[in-house]
Amino acid sequence: MILVLIDHDGGEIDPLSLRALTAARKLGHDVEAVVIGQSGAELAAIAGEYGASILHVASHASISDYTPMASGRALKDLVEKLNPAAVLAAGSPRGNEQLAHLAAFLDIPMAAECSQITLGAPHHVLRARWAGNLIESANVHSELLIATVLSFSTEPESINGPAASVSQFEPNVQPADTIVRVLSRSTGESKGGVTLNDAKVIVSGGRGVGGPDGFGNLEELATLLGGTVGCSRVVTSSGWRPHAEQVGQTGTKVAPDLYIAAGISGAMQHIAGMKNSKTIVVINTDPEAPILRYADYAIIGDLHQVIPALTSAIRQAKG
Amino acid sequence: MDVLVCLKRVPLAGGTLILTPDARDIETKHLGFGISPHEENAVEAGVQLVEQMGGTLTLLTLGPSDAEEQLRSQLAIGATRAVLIETDGQEWDPQGTAAALVDAINAEETKFDLIIFGAESADSAGYQIHIRVAHALNRPIVTNVKSMKVENNLVTCERVVPTGREHYEAPLPAIVTVRDGLNIPRYPSVPGRMQARKKIVDMKKAEPRIPKLEKVTLALAPSKDKGAEILGKGADAVPALVEVLKQIGAF
């Protein structure tokens, strides 16, 4: 049996968990799922739809919001009870964190961000490294495989299964497990406008913008297209723009309909954050810039001339 | 306040990667080295805490003897001293690395109030060493911290999630992993560099363990050169781009 952690926020499922469920089903074993927290019980229907026969619900008086070490404890208790062949979760910050706690409790290896899993002795995985630019082929030497599933490596596939049957259990949570937990939440840094996460259009600037003043033109274009401004890491580490606008592995990963990269050469960590955008337009003076390999369309030229010209042309076209 | 920051020497790979002939490592002949991006923020946070509250900032790394270069450049930012656990240059798996870090931390006279890691390494991204260290040292750990404050023996942290911010706190001694955006790392000053040459880097040896997560080979991810359509040069190409944007329904 493969056990899959379904991550959720107050009963709202993390859709990446459905990819983990799909990946688990493809290993040819029975699949059971586990959620942490009482509100997770609402997920029995969707867990079943994606192939889990049983949904284990770990609830405990001291777990109300995200409590990663307690999740690790609950998973450990369940592993000891059910003896699965593997425990999988989504390769999300929370999926990686909760399974790392499980791996630390059991003192066994964990393989993060796997695009392929083959059970055996040893288990074998392909896993993403270097912001997805390298694929590591690795053996995992332990009876139980603990692995997270690389986001977007598996498309979620429903089998229209019946709702999973719910099995409640109370993990043996220790006081130390609940010291670190979400104490409160506040909403995002959005200034009432469009955020990077939900923008359909992002106009992003890099070193080529030259300084904080240069972003005025990018803002104007972004506003005209109903989008928002993004930037590369060098821009935020130079203090030109707030970090909340950074696109990349060390900032926000985005996938808008249109991504305009102006004056961005395309470091791997930036590419990792934007390569899933639907249409990518590059404006760069360097025809050899690495980012061109990811572009659908490009203009070779100085963004300081191209962007204002583009803005006025769009204004005209709009009438 | 005594702070420890853990670092990793990584190649500065720029836009493309090349592998060694045995496909087990990145070809680094023509590359410079640095530390993982979030770790620059970790060092800056450590320096700021010691500036505000007094105490010491120690750096710890596991890697080849050449990693002294990375330790020296971070000592120049304002750390007090550094410890290098020297390997044979082979990559260690996360369990082996965490165990060696724990041994080195336990061997220190200083009982660190706060241990800071970067949120993820640039190269291996295993997402676990910090958590294994926290379990072994029996300390609370808050990960992916974007903003933090140390006060009254408590570290208060914020983590950015798609829906906003989550707030955490942990009593010291604690461990945090930090993300880019926590602060703006400073550049080393010339006097800082001079002093760094004289600061102590303790060299330690550790026996490699048999890796349980055993790297076999590396491969480049399938390169997706989308074959960009070059619309032209400079502002003259703008009408062509306007047409494209119209077609995809951008306005």
Confidence of residue A153 (pLDDT cuts 50, 70, 90): confident
Would residue B236 count as lying in a domain?
Answer: no
Quick check: B125 and A9 CB within 8 A? no
- The pLDDT score that the predictor gives to residue A192 is 52
Question: CB–CB of A240/A211 below 8 Å?
Answer: yes
Quick check: B218 and A136 CB within 8 A? yes
CA B196, CA A121: separation in Å to the nearest integer? 48
Percentage of the residues of chain A whose pLDDT score is greater than 70:
98
Quick check: A301 and B235 CB within 8 A? yes
pLDDT, tens digit, for every residue of A204-242?
Answer: 999 999 999 999 999 999 999 999 999 999 999 899 999
- Which of the residue ranges A187-201, A275-289, B77-91, B139-153 would you say has the lowest mean pLDDT? A187-201
Confidence of residue A319 (pLDDT cuts 50, 70, 90): confident
Confidence of residue A189 (pLDDT cuts 50, 70, 90): low
Would residue B42 count as lying in a domain?
Answer: yes
Would residue B241 count as lying in a domain?
Answer: no
Quick check: B232 and A244 CB within 8 A? no
Quick check: B226 and A293 CB within 8 A? yes
pLDDT, tens digit, for every residue of B94-126?
Answer: 999 999 999 999 999 999 999 999 999 989 889
Q: CATH code at B147?
A: 3.40.50.620
Would residue B195 count as lying in a domain?
Answer: yes
Would residue B209 count as lying in a domain?
Answer: yes
- Which of the residue ranges A132-146, B103-117, B154-168 would you say has the lowest mean pLDDT? B154-168
Size of interface A-B (CB pairs under 8 A): 257
pLDDT of B180 strictly over 60: yes
Confidence of residue A150 (pLDDT cuts 50, 70, 90): very high
| Closest residue of chain A to B239, computed from CA coordinates | A313
Angle B225-A211-A201 from CA coordinates, rounded to 5°: 45
Would residue B57 count as lying in a domain?
Answer: yes
Give chain A's domains with CATH numbers.
2-178 (3.40.50.620), 196-318 (3.40.50.1220)
Question: CB–CB of B223/B114 below 8 Å?
Answer: no
Backbone angles phi, psi at B149, to 5 degrees: -145, 135
Quick check: A129 and B94 CB within 8 A? no
Confidence of residue A193 (pLDDT cuts 50, 70, 90): low
CA A117, CA A103: separation in Å to the nearest integer? 17
List Cβ neighbours of A247 (8 Å cut-off, separation of 6 or more): A196, A202, A204, A230, A231, A232, A253, A254, A270, A273, A274
- Which of the residue ranges B5-19, B137-151, B207-221 would you say has the lowest mean pLDDT? B5-19
Angle at which helix A93-106 crosses helix A68-82, to 10 degrees, equals 60
| Cα–Cα separations (whole angstroms), residue B82 to A217, B65, B186 | 45, 13, 19
CA B23, CA B16: separation in Å to the nearest integer? 15
Closest C-alpha among A216, A215, A251 to residue A232: A251
| Distance from the A162 Cα atom to the nearest Cα atom in chain B, whole angstroms | 31
ipTM of this complex prediction, to 2 decimal places: 0.94
Quick check: B15 and A266 CB within 8 A? yes
**For an interface test with A, which of B77, B127, B229 has the most A Cβ atoms less than 10 Å from its Cβ?**
B127
| Domain membership of residue B123 as a residue range | 2-222
Total number of domains in chain B: 1
All residues of chain A having their beta carbon less than 8 Å from the beta carbon of residue B93 are 109
Half-sphere exposure of A258 (CA within 13 A, CB side): 24
Confidence of residue A188 (pLDDT cuts 50, 70, 90): low
- Residue range A165-193: mean pLDDT, rounded: 86
Q: Which long-range contacts (CB under 8 A, 24 or more apart) does B144-148 make?
A: B144/A93, B144/B119, B144/B177, B144/B178, B144/B179, B145/B119, B145/B176, B145/B177, B145/B178, B145/B179, B145/B182, B146/A243, B146/B178, B146/B179, B146/B181, B146/B182, B147/B182, B148/B45, B148/B176, B148/B178, B148/B182
- The pLDDT score that the predictor gives to residue B112 is 98
CB atoms within 10 A of CB A162: 10
Partner-chain residue, chosen from A104, A297, A318, that has the shortest CB–CB distance to B241: A297
Partner-chain residue, chosen from B38, B216, B248, that has the shortest CB–CB distance to A279: B248
Confidence of residue B85 (pLDDT cuts 50, 70, 90): very high
